[in-house]
Amino acid sequence: MTEFKKIKNICCIGAGYVGGPTMAVIAKKCPDILINVVDINENRINAWNSADLAELPIFEPGLDEVIKKCRNRNLFFTTEVKKSIESADMVFLSVNTPIKSKGIGAGFASDLKWVEASARQIAKFAKGHTIVVEKSTLPVRTASTIKEILINSCLDKDNTFDKKFSVLSNPEFLAEGTAIDDLENPDRVLIGGIDKFAIESLKNIYGRWVDREKIITMNLWSSELSKLIANAFLAQRISSMNAVAALCESTGANINEVEKAIGADSRIGNKFLKAGPGFGGSCFKKDILNIVYLSNFYGLKEVADYWNQVVLINNWTRHRISKIIVNKLFGTVSGKKLSILGFSFKANTNDTRESSAIQICNNLLEEGAELVIYDPKVSYRKIEEDLIQKEKIPINQIVSEGSWSKANTIEEAAENSDAIIVLTEWDMFKNLDWEKLSSLMRKPSWLFDTRNITDHKKASENGINIWLLGSSN
Ligand code: NAD
Ligand code: UGA
């Protein structure tokens, strides 16, 4: 049997959508391991420590239960970076890796400044042998950068080695909205690395609740690349279906029927085939653009163009939907009240990063619409941050000046509106009271269902005009 280190103390750098839930589940499954989740964002840490579980910084079904059980038992949220790293046998890097906004690779490459800063902190504060685990999604070969930073810190003043590091890649595959279930029952756990001792130590943590056959080990670069490719494949299926949806609308085919037909082929499978307003979330676009950057870097232009098309179709889908809404409403939405149902990028999360709702709302605002937005979990402040602030738009690009507000109920959003536009697939939108909503709306009224989840027959029976994504109605 391969030897391993019995991990007693973990530090996770980054208390975000990945760090928080992942460490919560490890703490639940391994009550004997003490876990410190650290972050430079004090507000975030305070929110994680808040007595009212409704105030946790992220909304994720089932998370509050796990936090209630483990917080201040073997799970701690703190800003004490130095102390937490010093005492850790294993440090997870779970910091943000957004697309670079300027400099070399801007718009495509990942910005690794937070990863580098964290690696330098580990280098400075770690003691003895520390296993460093890349949890963030990283460009291929980032592990070598981390290793270099760490190795250079190993020599003490007398040029003798006083600390030792092993670097592993352990990308995360959780999806928001189902994070706890994904973490407790993963399809696979991927561990990349060469140090067998370190790999076995990490395997022994997951092995407490994940079948050994599901823990796959490989070399570092395969592990880093597999994470990017997994996201690219998922996103590619959605862009394919969004392209087919447009074809359905023109030909009289129905996207739900096409989805059923092709999903029944066991080689294709029926998951991730739902057409919609375009994929959102913090990672799909970023990870594909990273592959595009990497491919171009290695001179593989055709490969880069191939993957880039997935992102282009996604952008096109959002604009296509905005145009349809304007056209159906007699070619203008200026001064018209439109109710937006759903602002998060998918159901069961309060996350709005890259949500298609942002682009579609901004398009409608530019056309002069008065939007009333309802979302059960997204705050007013978040929407405000996401929608274009007028002073940031060059004056010659402002077509018209729309406005937006947030409604507390669906009825409030619908009152006097010309259209209800469903952008997120929240369960509560599946069975709306169309008789009531129709009576509140201005006539002729419209339903635009970009997720195909509403009871559109009932809406139609109540005199509402219907547009459904991917059918000719
Ligand atoms: P996030 O922005 O929610 O959280 C990252 C946190 O790291 C932030 O709170 C930030 O303040 C903190 N941070 C940055 N630098 C720090 C430092 N030097 N010291 C301490 N804290 C620091 O990001 P996220 O959504 O959790 O994503 C993290 C990584 O995981 C990304 O690489 C992402 O691609 C990947 N990922 C995300 C998901 C997801 O569903 N969100 C799923 C799989 C993988
Ligand atoms: C995605 C992956 O599913 C995770 O495996 C991965 O770990 C994560 O990215 C990441 O690396 O960040 P997430 O973005 O949280 O997870 O959510 P998804 O369920 O993948 O949805 C992404 C977007 O695609 C959403 O806007 C969703 O509405 C859309 N989508 C999803 C569709 O339009 N159709 C579908 O059939 C599925």
Secondary structure (3-state) at 87: coil
* CB contact at 8 A, 373 and 406: yes
Residues 297 and 214 in one domain: no
Please determine, for residue 400, whether its predicted confidence score (pLDDT) is greater than 70.
no
Active site residues: 283
If you measure from the C-alpha of residue 175 to the centroid of ligand 2, how many angstroms do you get, rounded to a whole number?
A: 6
Ligand nearest to C-alpha 280: 2
Look at residue 393 in the predicted model and tell me its pLDDT. 55
Q: Which is the closest atom of ligand 1 to the Cα of 58? A: 3
Q: How many helices (H) and strands (E) does the chain have?
A: 17, 14
The residue among 195, 218, 241 that closes a domain is 218
The mean pLDDT value for 66-71 works out to: 98
Domain count, the chain: 2
What residue owns the CA closest to ligand 1's atom 14?
95
Residues 210 and 288 in one domain: no
The residue among 171, 190, 218 that closes a domain is 218
Confidence of residue 69 (pLDDT cuts 50, 70, 90): very high
Sign for the pseudo-dihedral over CA of 201, 205, 208, 214: negative
Residues 204 and 291 in one domain: no
- The CATH number of residue 313's host domain is 3.40.50.720
Secondary structure (3-state) at 51: coil
- Name the one residue in this structure whose structure tokens are 């890649």: 169
The mean pLDDT value for 154-159 works out to: 64
Asked whether residue 90 is assigned to any structural domain, the reply reads yes
Asked whether residue 335 is assigned to any structural domain, the reply reads yes
Please determine, for residue 160, whether its predicted confidence score (pLDDT) is greater than 90.
no
Confidence of residue 155 (pLDDT cuts 50, 70, 90): low
If you measure from the C-alpha of residue 12 to the centroid of ligand 2, how many angstroms do you get, rounded to a whole number?
A: 24
Ligand 1 pocket, 166 CB below 6 A?
Answer: no
If you measure from the C-alpha of residue 17 to the centroid of ligand 1, how many angstroms do you get, rounded to a whole number?
A: 7
Q: Which domain holds residue 324?
A: 284-468
Look at residue 143 in the predicted model and tell me its pLDDT. 84
Residues 430 and 305 in one domain: yes
Look at residue 140 in the predicted model and tell me its pLDDT. 86
Look at residue 40 in the predicted model and tell me its pLDDT. 97
Neighbours of 208 (CB within 10 A): 11
Asked whether residue 421 is assigned to any structural domain, the reply reads yes
What residue owns the CA closest to ligand 1's atom 15?
114
Percentage of residues of the chain with pLDDT beyond 90: 89
If you measure from the C-alpha of residue 98 to the centroid of ligand 1, how many angstroms do you get, rounded to a whole number?
A: 9
Asked whether residue 239 is assigned to any structural domain, the reply reads no
Asked whether residue 229 is assigned to any structural domain, the reply reads no
Q: Per the omega criterion (within 30 degrees of 0), is the bond before 444 cis? A: yes
Asked whether residue 169 is assigned to any structural domain, the reply reads yes
Residues 211 and 288 in one domain: no
Residues 213 and 311 in one domain: no
Asked whether residue 263 is assigned to any structural domain, the reply reads no
* CB contact at 8 A, 202 and 168: yes
The mean pLDDT value for 275-293 works out to: 97
Look at residue 272 in the predicted model and tell me its pLDDT. 98
Token duo for residue 271? 């998951």
Verdict on whether the full-model pTM lies above 0.75:
yes
Residues 456 and 327 in one domain: yes
Ligand 1 pocket, 136 CB below 6 A?
Answer: yes
The pLDDT tens digits for 185-223 are 999 999 999 999 999 999 999 999 999 999 999 999 999
The residue among 202, 218, 234 that closes a domain is 218
Token duo for residue 49? 């420590």
Asked whether residue 246 is assigned to any structural domain, the reply reads no
Ligand nearest to C-alpha 79: 1
Residues 301 and 204 in one domain: no
Please determine, for residue 25, whether its predicted confidence score (pLDDT) is greater than 90.
yes
Ligand 1 pocket, 17 CB below 6 A?
Answer: yes
Residues 214 and 313 in one domain: no
Residues 204 and 296 in one domain: no
Residue 10 CA to residue 96 CA, distance in Å, equals: 19
